[in-house]
Amino acid sequence: MPQINLLSPHVADLIAAGEVVERPASVIKELVENAFDAGAAHVTVEIQNGGATMIRVTDDGCGMAPEDAGIAFLRHATSKLRDERGLEAITTMGFRGEALAAISAVSRIELYTRRPEDAEGTRMTLEAGDIRDMEATGCPSGTSICVRDIFYNTPARLKFLKSDRSEASACIQAALRCALGRPEISVRFLRDGREEFFTPGDGRIDSCCYALLGRDLVSGLLPVHSEDEGLKLTGYISSPAAGRGNRSAQFFFVNGRFIRSQMLQTALEQAYKNTLLTGRYPACVICLEIRPGAVDVNVHPAKIEVKFSEERRIFNLLYQASVGTLSGEDSLKLRTVPEKAAPAAPAEDKPEEALPPQKPAPQAEYRVPAETAPLPPAEPKGQAVPVHAFAAERPDCVPARQQSLFASPAPEYQRENSLPPERETAEKAVEKPVQNVDISSAPEHKILGEAFKTYIITEVGEQLVLIDKHAAHERMNFDRLKSGRQPVMAQQLLSPQTLRLDLGQMALLEQHGELFAEFGFELEPFGEHELIIRAVPADIRPDDARAAIEEILEHLGSGGTPDPEAARDELLHTVACKAAIKAGWNTGPQERERIAEEVLSGRVKYCPHGRPVSVTVTRKDLDKLFKRIV
């Protein structure tokens, strides 16, 4: 690496506002990027206590000469940019010369560095940005920067650090994003001495995908590849069946840099038009290679947003490539995925498809974290307790069958992989649901039948009202749960289930534990990544338990920290949705009647996601269609 210069104030001013060291994860991003810029082939990241007490990044890159190490921690000290012309075509991750200054200002640092050509290396310590010691020392070639006690001198910022688990999760994410952008570099991550992930540095994106996205998502990924004059696009996109509740699994990289881009997001999502349900989002790992002059990375302090000079062309490239991949879906599969057909459509509309069994983690090309404990036995502590046993113990807990709006088919569902039963049982069991206390003000109507096992057709005076039974029922459940008129019931699972979660999800669960408990979830962490599910709300079918928890966590995790009320609503949404009868299920006449009454009385207008629950066609509309009138 060339010598370090101090930028002129003029160039410094051209550079956007400085990075702020927000949390340990931002330190990791900067240090790993520096290691990448130094030409490292192997990078090791270590943290202790979520990075709060120690962060160390070690690389086998070019190292620094002693005189360079002496100024590397000064503001605007960089070897990557000399003058303003350099800003036009950035080829390195860093260029502002700010990160080491910002990090060292709020921590204690110990640096070891040696250039391969030098016989001796340099050891240097800093405190709050000031050099304390500097000496010649023997050390491996490359650089190791150890950051201790971040924010020790800024208590106000220290206070904002979240739990170790949350910070660790953010650190892992930050390192993974770096790793995924540069699959030719091997990255190892150790948390409190245990390996969290390892990428082999074999240049293949898919080797990193599993660590970043988790096995469930990876199994539904399809490769995309496209090239167009100076533009290259590679990566993976999810099959429509693997849609997610938010966009947190969309990763875009430009020249190895993780970025956010509304434009790329839109191009991707347009390709899924009409194949994904509304409210579901595709996952992706998209890597773009563009001539450095055609993208400006100097528009955002953390360089996480960029400006493309040829937006339209890039949009089209991604859109076309994705459409191409999705239309040829069957012929392509991620190479690490065992041959196993993904379900053809979202489970909601395909009740005949049982939940896919947990797929074994693909292990061929990459290392599974060493920390991964063996799965706990399927039935920890061998508890197989009939539901009624618990009901007897807890006077407030009656079996689901007696108290849910419609009779719960829970017992039938406990057969593994059974089809959702036809719900005739419900008819017998529609004993006075709570809402019946309300006086129905539904106008006189006749239920004519049901179309596509989805829409209830009613005749009301001179109108036909088509009702989306799932949407309406979801709303009814939501209102019932929200009003709190009924205590929430828990149902103990006959055999406790286990669920593997990432650290971020575990942290969310920790944060919202009381809320989950309030709704009847009985969840018990087992090791770092495993959760034992012992009870779920009575409204949820046991075989939906895992999916429900994952979905709630996904909603809670998207977009900042939800306030308690919003978090409650997220949970209610999911429980209401899971408890609702589904399109495609058989529905008995009494259930239809209940739903029609609620909708026609005007009490239920929109599903909790804001979609309408009914559509009205007047007689006049029909007469016009048939040209009886003009």
Of the two residues 178 and 387, which places its CB atom closer to Mg ion in the complex? 178
The DSSP letter of residue 406 is S
Shortest Cβ distance from residue 261 to ligand ADP (Å)?
22
Of 1-9, 89-97, 450-458, 484-492, the segment contacting Mg ion by CB under 5 A is 89-97
CA neighbours closer than 13 Å in the CB half-sphere of residue 130: 3
Helix (H) or strand (E) holding 26: helix 24-37
Q: Residue by residue, what is the 3-state secondary structure of 172-193? A: HHHHHHHHHHCCCCEEEEEECC
Q: Does 92 bind Mg ion (CB under 5 A)?
A: no
Of the two residues 145 and 237, which places its CB atom closer to ligand ADP in the complex? 145
Residue listed under structure tokens 């009924």 = 486
Q: Residue 59: which of ligand ADP, Mg ion, none does it interact with, CB under 5 to 8 A by kind? A: ligand ADP
Shortest Cβ distance from residue 150 to Mg ion (Å)?
17
Q: Using CB under 5 A, which residues numbered 129 to 148 contact Mg ion? A: none
Q: Residue 79: which of ligand ADP, Mg ion, none does it interact with, CB under 5 to 8 A by kind? A: ligand ADP
Nearest Cα residue to 114 out of 132, 135, 93, 91: 135
Shortest Cβ distance from residue 142 to Mg ion (Å)?
16
Of the two residues 306 and 581, which places its CB atom closer to ligand ADP in the complex? 306
Residue listed under structure tokens 């080797």 = 207
The DSSP letter of residue 92 is S
Of the two residues 62 and 297, which places its CB atom closer to ligand ADP in the complex? 62
Of the two residues 29 and 469, which places its CB atom closer to Mg ion in the complex? 29
Residue listed under structure tokens 């495993």 = 530
Shortest Cβ distance from residue 114 to ligand ADP (Å)?
10
Q: Residue 610 to residues 276, 433, 466, 475, 484: CA-CA distances in angstroms?
A: 17, 25, 17, 10, 21
Q: Does 588 bind Mg ion (CB under 5 A)?
A: no
Q: Does 94 bind Mg ion (CB under 5 A)?
A: yes
In the shown chain, the binding pattern of residues 19 to 48 toward Mg ion, with x for contact by CB under 5 A and - for none, equals ---------------x--------------
Q: Round to whole Å and give the CA distance between 13 and 129.
A: 22
Of the two residues 63 and 220, which places its CB atom closer to ligand ADP in the complex? 63
Q: Residue 38: which of ligand ADP, Mg ion, none does it interact with, CB under 5 to 8 A by kind? A: ligand ADP
Q: Determine phi and psi for 88, rounding to 5 degrees.
A: -75, -20
Q: Residue 77: which of ligand ADP, Mg ion, none does it interact with, CB under 5 to 8 A by kind? A: ligand ADP
**Number of residues forming the site for Mg ion (CB under 5 A):** 3
Helix (H) or strand (E) holding 238: strand 231-238
Shortest Cβ distance from residue 576 to Mg ion (Å)?
47
Residue with nearest beta carbon to ligand ADP: 94
The DSSP letter of residue 428 is H
Provide the terminal-to-terminal Cα distance of the chain, rounded to the nearest Å.
Answer: 80
The angle, 0 to 180 degrees and rounded to 10, between the axes of the packed helices 262-271 and 311-327 is 30
Task: Dump the DSSP string for 240-305.
Answer: GGG-BSSSTTEEEEETTEEE--HHHHHHHHHHTTTTS-TT-B--EEEEEEE-GGGEE-TTSTTS-S
- Are 450 and 557 in contact by the 8 Å Cβ rule? The answer is no
Shortest Cβ distance from residue 92 to Mg ion (Å)?
8
Q: Do the strands 522-526 and 530-537 form a parallel or antiparallel pair, or are they unpaired?
A: antiparallel
**Where do contacts with ligand ADP occur on this chain (CB under 6 A)?**
1, 4, 30, 34-35, 37-38, 59, 61-64, 72, 77-80, 94-101, 143
Q: Residue 537: which of Mg ion, ligand ADP, none does it interact with, CB under 5 to 8 A by kind? A: none
Helix (H) or strand (E) holding 125: strand 121-127
Shortest Cβ distance from residue 167 to ligand ADP (Å)?
21
Shortest Cβ distance from residue 15 to ligand ADP (Å)?
9
Q: Residue 95: which of Mg ion, ligand ADP, none does it interact with, CB under 5 to 8 A by kind? A: ligand ADP
Of the two residues 190 and 501, which places its CB atom closer to ligand ADP in the complex? 190
Per the DSSP assignment, residues forming a β-bridge with 630 are none
Shortest Cβ distance from residue 154 to ligand ADP (Å)?
19
Q: Residue 35: which of Mg ion, ligand ADP, none does it interact with, CB under 5 to 8 A by kind? A: ligand ADP
Shortest Cβ distance from residue 363 to ligand ADP (Å)?
32
Residue listed under structure tokens 């840099």 = 257
Shortest Cβ distance from residue 163 to Mg ion (Å)?
28
Sequence-ordered alpha helix ranges (H) in 424-544: 424-429, 469-483, 503-511, 513-518
Shortest Cβ distance from residue 382 to ligand ADP (Å)?
52
Q: Using CB under 5 A, which residues numbered 179 to 238 contact Mg ion? A: none
Of 88-96, 131-139, 221-229, 287-295, the segment contacting Mg ion by CB under 5 A is 88-96
Of the two residues 61 and 542, which places its CB atom closer to ligand ADP in the complex? 61
Q: Round to whole Å and give the CA distance between 614 and 611.
A: 9
Q: Residue 78: which of ligand ADP, Mg ion, none does it interact with, CB under 5 to 8 A by kind? A: ligand ADP
Of the two residues 30 and 554, which places its CB atom closer to Mg ion in the complex? 30
The correct pick among 99, 259, 465, 476 for binding Mg ion (CB under 5 A) is 99
Nearest Cα residue to 391 out of 215, 520, 513: 520
- Are 454 and 469 in contact by the 8 Å Cβ rule? The answer is yes
Q: Residue 501: which of Mg ion, ligand ADP, none does it interact with, CB under 5 to 8 A by kind? A: none
Of the two residues 99 and 391, which places its CB atom closer to ligand ADP in the complex? 99
Q: Residue 504: which of Mg ion, ligand ADP, none does it interact with, CB under 5 to 8 A by kind? A: none
Q: Round to whole Å and give the CA distance between 413 and 262.
A: 42
Nearest Cα residue to 307 out of 88, 11, 557: 88
Of the two residues 43 and 506, which places its CB atom closer to ligand ADP in the complex? 43
Of the two residues 64 and 318, which places its CB atom closer to ligand ADP in the complex? 64
Of the two residues 145 and 221, which places its CB atom closer to ligand ADP in the complex? 145
Shortest Cβ distance from residue 51 to ligand ADP (Å)?
17
Q: Do the strands 257-259 and 231-238 form a parallel or antiparallel pair, or are they unpaired?
A: unpaired
Q: Round to whole Å and give the CA distance between 196 and 366.
A: 12
Shortest Cβ distance from residue 380 to ligand ADP (Å)?
45
Q: Round to whole Å and give the CA distance between 134 and 126.
A: 9
Phi-psi region of 295 (alpha: psi -120 to 50; beta: other; left: phi over 0): beta
Of the two residues 60 and 554, which places its CB atom closer to Mg ion in the complex? 60
Per the DSSP assignment, residues forming a β-bridge with 5 are 78
Residues that bind Mg ion (CB under 5 A): 34, 94, 99
